[in-house]
Amino acid sequence: MRPLSEIFEQLLVPKKVVITTHQKPDADAMGSSLALMHYLVKLHHEVQVISPTNWASFLNWMPGMQQVVDFESRPEQAGAIIETADWIFCLDFNNLSRIKRMEPLVAKAGGQRLLIDHHEQPQLSAFHYGLSDPAKCSTAEMVYDFIRESGGDALLDETIAQCLYAVLMTDTGSFRFPGTTASAHFMAARLKETGLEHHLIHDHLFDNFLENRLRFFGHVLMNRMDVIYELNTVLLAVPKADIHRFDISTGDTEGLVNFPLSIQGIKLAAIVIDRDDERKWSFRSKGNVDVNQFARKHFGGGGHKNAAGGRSADVFDQTVKHFYQVIETLREDLQ
């Protein structure tokens, strides 16, 4: 994988560009993709954002969202666009398996694949150019750096700023997570200079849900939370019946895993949600508890040291039992 900076001069030559991200994209995935789209359009490229799957409805306010193609809904249209692309930007994921059914199309496409991502252990052989930096708090910060370092600072406007700032709010936990860097604060200041009204972004992201989501959170915290005090760990185990009962949609569970970390002494929080085709895991931790390695070893996932995800093909009760067994491997770090 060659440095992404090597394409800077080529940015002046219009190309057909696809931007894609991981399945079930979150704010970082979608915000980064849309910000990059708006920037490349200003450079006269023909740009299409393609998501491998659908996304949370609370992201629909983002500028340009109406132009995004959902691969699962329109596979033939998306496939034709991918086949003719000169560049395929891959944002907020570093392994082609994360794009689900799009993987074979992207892998065999004739266009060059360009990586911008901040997760650990990238699949370097899958990308022609790229930038991988786990020290960055979000992929959006890397897109911001890409824009400025490629000479596009003057092209930053409120539209791009809205997409990027949304990611800063989510991936830094409103600037409270340990991974929040000084550069992230400088980035926020620069985005404010575009005329960005940051309070509106907060409203879109955190004050824009239906009643059923709040009742679902309350139900899970009251009835599905197991506090393992001897290991300073909390497990939230959400069966499929709860998803149906509260009519939970894509994105409605976002942030739920963070709540148990507010309990005094808790160092690790995990949530497993029973989905139709798999059991989806999310992990959050404090200090030196490395959930990235834990997720990679036991749940086929990964991410960051203090925030990771995974999945299991086991039935719900079996994957929960497995968690109780393997959490013992972190006993020394958790006590």
Give the Cα separation of 268 and 235 in Å (integer): 9
In angstroms, how far is CA 49 from the centroid of its own chain? 15
**Identity of the residue numbered 155:** L
Q: What is the mean pLDDT of residues 178-182?
A: 86
Q: Which tokens in the block code for residue 328?
A: 């013992």
Q: Answer left, alpha or beta for residue 300, where phi above 0 means left and psi between -120 and 50 means alpha.
A: left
User: Which pLDDT band holds residue 177 (cuts at 50, 70, 90)?
Assistant: confident
Asked whether the domain spanning 211-334 has the same topology as the one spanning 2-206, the reply is no
Q: Tell me, what's the pLDDT at 157? A: 97
pLDDT digits (tens, 9 = 90+) for 196-241: 999 999 999 888 888 999 999 999 999 999 999 999 999 999 999 9
pTM of the model: 0.85
> How many C-beta atoms surround the C-beta of residue 15 within 10 A?
18
Dig out the tokens for 167 from the structure: 């990611």
From edge to edge, which strands make up the β-sheet containing 129-132?
Answer: 2-3, 129-132, 112-117, 87-91, 16-21, 46-51, 69-70
- CATH number at 211-334: 3.10.310.30
The pLDDT tens digits for 152-162 are 999 999 999 99
Cα–Cα distance between 94 and 115 in angstroms, integer? 7
CA–centroid distance for 12 within its chain: 29
Query: What's the topology of domain 2-206?
Result: inorganic pyrophosphatase (n-terminal core) (3.90.1640)
Q: Is 262 exposed, middle or buried (0-12, 13-18, 19+ CB in 10 A)?
A: exposed
Express each pLDDT in 60-96 by its tens digit.
Answer: 999 999 999 999 999 999 999 999 999 999 999 998 9
CA-CA-CA-CA dihedral for 158, 55, 235, 173, to nearest 10: 0
Q: Using CA atoms, how far apart are residues 67 and 80, in angstroms rounded to an integer?
A: 16
d(CA 165, CA 187): 9
| Model confidence band, residue 137 (pLDDT cutoffs 50, 70, 90) | confident
Residue 93 pLDDT: 93
CA–CA gap between residue 16 and residue 84 (Å, rounded): 7
**For 11, phi and psi rounded to 5 degrees?**
-60, -20
Tokens of 176: 């409270």
| 312, 209 contact by CB (below 8 A) | no
Retrieve residue 33's tokens: 């993709």
Q: How far apart (Å, rounded) are the C-alpha atoms in residues 271 and 281?
A: 6
Q: Work out the number of other CB atoms within 10 angstroms of the CB of residue 154.
A: 9
Domain ranges of the chain: 2-206, 211-334
Q: Please report which helix (H) or strand (E) contains residue 203, including its range.
A: helix 198-206
Residue 295 near residue 301 (C-beta atoms within 8 A): yes
In 3D space, the residue among 212, 217, 202, 118 whose CA is nearest the CA of residue 162 turns out to be 202
The pair of three-digit structure tokens given for residue 243, joined into one six-digit string: 């998803």
In this structure, are residues 131 and 146 in contact, taking their beta carbons and an 8 Å threshold?
A: yes
CA distance 93 to 113: 12
